[in-house]
Amino acid sequence: MKATIWHNPRCSKSRETLAILNDTPGLEVEVVEYLKTPPTRAKLADLYARAGMTPRDGLRKAEDGAKALKDASDDAILDAMIADPILIERPLVETGKGVRLGRPPEKVREIL
C-alpha cells in the first residue's frame, strides 16, 4: 500500500505521523513538503472531502493569516490556503483507504 503525507518537517506532529508511517511494514511512503510543493486547490478540496472535513476544519487557526478568515466561506479559506500554504493544518495523510489529519498522529492508523 502507498501513503502520501503532506508534511512539514518543522512540525512535531508531522514528524510523529511520518514515524508511524515509516514504521508500518509494507507501506510505501511519499513525502510531500507542502510548503515547498503545495497541493492544488482541487487536490486540497478533495483531501478534505475524503477526510470528512471542511476547509475550516483544516485551517491552522494559530497562524496570523487565519484570524482574517474568521467569518470567511469555505471557498475563501481554500483560496487563502493556496495563496499561503502555512495556513494548512498538518499533516494530512492519504492512502487508498481514505484521508486523515494526523492530529493526534495515531489517527492515521485508521487508514493503514
Query: What tens-digit pLDDT sequence spans the chain (112 residues)?
Result: 999 999 999 999 999 999 999 999 999 999 999 999 999 999 999 999 999 999 999 999 999 999 999 999 999 999 999 999 999 999 999 999 999 999 999 999 999 9
Is the pTM value of this prediction over 0.85? Answer: yes
Asked whether 97 and 112 are in contact (CB, 8 A), the reply is yes
Q: Give the catalytic positions in this structure.
A: 11
pLDDT at 27: 97
DSSP string, 4-46: EEEE-TT-HHHHHHHHHHHTSTT-EEEEEETTTSPPPHHHHHH
pLDDT at 52: 97
**Fold of the domain spanning 2-111:** Glutaredoxin (3.40.30)
pLDDT at 40: 97
